[in-house]
Amino acid sequence: MDPKITDSTLIALGGLIAVVALLFLLITRFRWHVFIALLAPILLFALVPGINREVFISAFEQGFGRTVQSIAVVMVVGTLLAEGMKHTGGIERITLSMIRWVGEKRISLALMLSGWVIGIPIFSDVGYVILNPLVHSAAIRSGLNMAVMSTGLIGALQLTHAMVPPTPGPLAAVAIVKADMGAVIIYGCLVSLIASFFGWLYALAVGPRLESPPVPEFVGQSFVESGREAELPTTFWAFAPILIPLALVAAQSSAAIALPKDHVVNAALHYLGWPVVALSIGVLIAFRSTKRDQSKARAGDWVENALRSSAMVIMVVGLGGALSQILRETPAVDAIAKGMESTGLPAIFLPFVLAVVANMITGSTTVGVITSASITAPMMPTLGLSPEATMLAAAAGSIITKYVNSSYFWVCTTLTRMPLRSALISFGGVMIVNGVVSMLVIYVLWRLQII
């Protein structure tokens, strides 16, 4: 029998609680960067009496290395795809197309659907910054206030940002729990779409009662209003960088189940549906829409921005993988799993609750989903949870709730020019609705043994 980091359940549980508590304290009280705030408690854990440091070091290196190995290139390419979408006007074209399909009379629904699509490759705060001028203009034209117009959009952006790869949070959680990315994409899209719809209904019910008038300050800043619509990509080329990679990854997972391993279609999709290749195809499609004067930035600045943005997340995800591997080699896993069973609550709620707590304390969706996935991953076999169910439940919890310690909350509040009380009810409320509805759908899928 291989030696463990410690044979003491008390030491293991105490160490885990101390690591998580110190992590949250360093982030919230001392404002440490999340990488240092996570690394320091893990290293201090090794100094606890009774810890086998040789096994500890081996587990750390193994967990960190395997996790980074599985997501590093995918995360960089996914971030590069987001850079292309941001700079070519694809985000605005998607939104204009949704408005045209759904109709001006249901423009808040169109914005919500746009947010649901755009949140897949783009950070939610970046997506809203780009769309904010359109939201104000639409509110002024329709006579509706910003709470009605923006709430569903803001909730949907956050939902797919939290649930559907290739954004960092879900991509990291997929790697840590070793989930099938194609299955996560399929069910993550389904869950987030249902929850987004309920978020839009919440906006219609609550929004008219809140003080949130649009302001003309932002009117005229979009491509269309500044007379530059011709510079936008066509509808097909705007959607293609998102939908084609997702379809390839999902098709790879489906073909692996439905077709023999040596089938020619399975063999082709095994490569084309590899996330590195699928997302690279998306980057090429997005870059097709660049203008002549963007060629230098495309080859230099955009790539450097993607590498810079990805590096921090990759390192944090690696530490999450290290923590998960360390926990696997302690008795804490069995103790927590047995404790969960004794409560009588369905096991699926453990990653959900852990993510809720992490997000509410730190204000970060990415930290929430990574923390929950890291702690829950070693317990999945004991709890009877699949990797896909674990990851999606963690994602659902990671969006509850966004309030004053969340940068996304302040970005949206500032740009909508909404009073703080209205923003807390509108944006904080829609995140609770979206998270609860998501978890209910995930619970049903789990009980039906679909995930």
Q: How does pLDDT run along the chain (451 residues), one tens digit per residue?
A: 578 899 899 998 888 889 888 988 888 788 888 889 889 999 999 999 889 999 999 999 999 999 888 888 998 999 899 888 888 888 889 999 999 999 888 999 999 999 999 999 888 888 999 899 989 998 998 889 999 999 999 999 999 999 999 888 899 899 999 999 999 999 999 999 999 999 999 999 999 999 989 988 877 767 676 777 778 899 999 999 999 999 999 999 888 888 888 888 888 998 999 999 999 999 999 988 887 777 766 667 888 888 888 888 889 888 888 988 998 888 887 888 788 777 888 999 999 999 998 888 777 888 889 889 989 999 998 889 999 999 999 999 999 877 777 888 889 999 999 998 999 999 999 999 999 999 999 999 999 999 8
For tokens 């996560």, name the residue. Answer: 184
At residue 291, what is the residue type?
K
pLDDT, residue 299, reads 67
Closest listed residue to residue 114, CA positions, set 99, 129, 104, 130:
99
Those residues with Cβ within 8 angstroms of residue 446's Cβ, 6 or more apart along the chain or in another chain: 346, 348, 385, 386, 389, 393
Q: Residue 418 in 3-state DSSP?
A: coil
> Do the Cβ atoms of 43 and 278 come closer than 8 Å?
no
Q: Contact at 8 Å (CB) between 278 and 185?
A: no
Give 401's Cβ-side CA count (13 Å radius). 13
Whose tokens are 């789990």? That residue is 446
Task: Identify the residue whose tokens are 């899928």.
Answer: 445
Task: Tell me how far apart the alpha carbons of residues 247 and 241 are, in angstroms, rounded to a whole number.
Answer: 11
- DSSP state letters, 301-313: HHHHHHHHHHHHH
On whether the CB atoms of residues 72 and 321 are closer than 8 A, the answer is no
Q: Which pLDDT does position 262 carry in this prediction?
A: 82
How far apart, in Å, do the first and last CA atoms of the chain sit? Answer: 33
